[in-house]
Amino acid sequence: MIYCEPQGSLCSGALSSANILDDTATALPPAIPNSFLVRRKLDEPQHRLGAKGFSLIEMLVALVVLSLSLGVLYQAAMGATRNVRVASEYTDAVMLAESMLAEYSYITDENFSLSGRFGQYDWQISSWPVTQDDGLAPEHRAVTPQALQYLEVVVSWPGRQTSRIVDLLTVVPLSEATE
């Protein structure tokens, strides 16, 4: 073990550049004392440990990580905003279709059809008869069944790449027109 005092006095034992620097057997010139090499070798790690701040590479890596994480957060926020907009459009389309079903809770004409536009939404209502095939003859039935109609409401609107569609189907009675 080599021990040197902090002031750089001579170290105990005979030292050469071979056992201090790089394990090669070279002789020191007579003008450089052994204690100078030992002091310099022991002082270098202390200087590096005391260095403060970040290197340029560390700063660049930090900036790259920061920019990548901000890009991911931006994409996530944009996706969430787009999902909210699409959900709002679907909600509006379903409300329009349900209001059309409520308005036409019974049909007076067979094979009824109607279409229109509300804002950005195109809607179409159509009906067709429900077939009642229970295998009974009309005279064997206790009650004559009421004529029923399928009623379908289709609401469409333009989407980002393709048009979006909401389709609701129900069964309503076919009633006589009241005047």
| pLDDT greater at residue 140 or residue 34 | 140
pLDDT of residue 137: 72
Q: Which fold has domain 57-134+143-173?
A: Pantoate--beta-alanine Ligase; Chain: A,domain 2 (3.30.1300)
pLDDT of residue 31: 61
- For residue 126, list its beta bridge partners: 113, 152
Give the range among 88-92, 93-97, 104-108 with minimum mean pLDDT: 104-108
The 10s digit of each residue's pLDDT in 34-60 is 555 555 555 555 555 556 788 999 999
Which of helix, strand or coil describes residue 20?
helix
Q: Where are the domains of the chain?
A: 1-51, 57-134+143-173
pLDDT of residue 3: 45
**Do the Cβ atoms of 44 and 20 come closer than 8 Å?**
no
| pLDDT greater at residue 93 or residue 30 | 93
Secondary structure element (H or E) that encloses residue 24, with its range: none
Strand order in the sheet with 113-118: 113-118, 121-129, 148-157, 164-173
- What does each C-alpha distance from 97 to 11, 100, 155, 166 come to in angstroms? 96, 5, 6, 8
Q: Which of 152, 94, 98, 156 is nearest to 125 (CA)?
A: 152
Average pLDDT, the chain: 78
